[in-house]
Chain A
Amino acid sequence: MSQPLVLGIETSCDETAIGIVRGRTLLANEIASSVEEHARFGGVVPEIASRAHLEAILPSIERAVRDAKISLKDLDAIAVTAGPGLVGALLVGTASAAGLAQGLGLPLYGVNHLAAHVSVDYLTHDLPTDPTIALLVSGGHSSLLQVNDITSSITKLGATMDDAAGEAFDKIARILNLGFPGGPAIDHDARNGNPSAIDFPRGLTTTNDWEVRPYDFSFSGLKTAVARYLEATPENIRADVSASFQEAVVDVLLLKALAACKSSGIDSLVIAGGVAANSRLREVAADRCAKAGIQLRIPSPGLCTDNGAMVAALGSLMVSAGRPATEGAFDADSSLQVERVSL
Chain B
Amino acid sequence: MTISLVIDTATSRTVVGLVNGDQVLFEKFHEGATDHGRAVSDLVSQALLNNPNPEEVIVGMGPGPFTGLRVGIAFAQSFALAREIPLKGICSLDAIHIDKSDYTVAIDARRKEIYWARYSGGVRVEGPAVNKPDEVADYILGRHPAIGEFVRLSKLTNEPAPLYLRRPDAVPTAERS
Contact = CB atoms under 8 A, between A and B. Distances in A.
Interface of A: 40-42, 45, 47-48, 50-51, 53-54, 57-58, 61-62, 72, 87-88, 91-100, 102-104, 174, 328-332
| Interface residue tally on B, bucketed by range | 35 or more
Contact of A332 (B37, B164, B173): B37
Interface in B53-79: 66-67, 70-79
5 contacts: A54-B74, A91-B36, A96-B74, A331-B38, A332-B37
Contacts of A329: 37-42, 45
B168 A98 contact: no
A87 B173 CA distance: 24
Interface of B: 35-42, 44-45, 48, 66-67, 70-83, 162, 164, 168-174
Contact of B78 (A50, A53, A100, A174): A100
Given A91-B70, A98-B40, A40 B174 contact: yes
Per DSSP, are chain B's interface residues mostly helix, strand or loop, or mixed?
helix
A42 B174 CA distance: 9
Contacts of B169: 45, 47
Nearest to A40: B172
Nearest to A58: B77
Contacts of B48: 102
Contact of A57 (B78, B164, B171): B78
Contacts of B72: 95
Given A95-B75, A330-B38, A54 B70 contact: yes
A47 B74 contact: no
Given A54-B74, A57-B74, A95-B40, A87 B67 contact: yes
Given A51-B164, A102-B41, A95 B172 contact: no
A57 B76 CA distance: 12
A78 to B, nearest CB: 10
A42 B145 CA distance: 39
Nearest to B44: A102
Given A91-B71, A94-B37, A100 B170 contact: no
Contacts of B42: 328-329
Contact of B75 (A45, A61, A99): A99
Contacts of B78: 57-58, 61, 95-100, 103
Contacts of B73: 54
A88 B69 CA distance: 10
B45 A95 contact: no
Q: Which 10 pairs across A and B sit closest by C-beta, in order of nearness?
A: A103-B82, A99-B78, A329-B41, A47-B168, A95-B74, A99-B79, A99-B75, A42-B173, A45-B170, A329-B38
Given A41-B173, A54-B74, A99 B66 contact: no
A50 B70 contact: yes
B65 to A, nearest CB: 10
A341 B137 CA distance: 52
Contacts of B45: 102, 329
A61 B170 contact: no
B37 A72 contact: no
B81 A72 contact: yes
B82 A98 contact: no
A91 B73 CA distance: 11
A61 B81 contact: yes
Contacts of B66: 47, 50-51, 88
B115 to A, nearest CB: 16
A308 to B, nearest CB: 14
Contacts of B77: 58, 96, 99
Given A45-B169, A54-B73, A96-B74, 14 more contacts: A51-B164, A54-B162, A91-B36, A92-B70, A93-B74, A95-B40, A95-B71, A98-B37, A98-B40, A98-B78, A100-B81, A102-B82, A329-B37, A330-B37
Contacts of B41: 95, 98, 102, 328-330
Contacts of B174: 40
Contacts of A99: 74-82
B173 A104 contact: no
Contact of B82 (A41, A50, A72, A328): A72
A87 B78 CA distance: 19
Nearest to A98: B41
A155 to B, nearest CB: 29
